[in-house]
Amino acid sequence: MGKSSDSVVKIDSELLKKVEGFISEEENRLKFVNKKQFIDLAVFEKLEKERKNGK
């Protein structure tokens, strides 16, 4: 994969609104500092789950 690890990825605007709403909730403000951190963590966790399930 020849691209930089900091490449820009487009995300669906409705999904982004849901992410923004989720991380702005009181109980999530400290756990998720910003959208990028939340999305990075969500993708990482999904990939780990898929890897463990042998997919």
Count of domains observed in the chain: 1
Within a domain: 26: yes
Within a domain: 4: no
Within a domain: 38: yes
3-state SS class at 53: coil
Full domain range(s) for residue 39: 13-52
Within a domain: 32: yes
19 and 38 Cβ atoms separated by less than 8 Å: yes
pLDDT digits (tens, 9 = 90+) for 5-30: 778 889 999 999 999 999 999 999 99
Measured distance between the N- and C-terminal CA atoms of the chain, rounded to whole angstroms: 20
Cα–Cα distance for residue pair 20/47, rounded to 1 Å: 22
Q: Which of 30, 34, 31, 8 is nearest to 20 (CA)?
A: 34
What is the percent of the chain where pLDDT is above 90? 80
Within a domain: 3: no
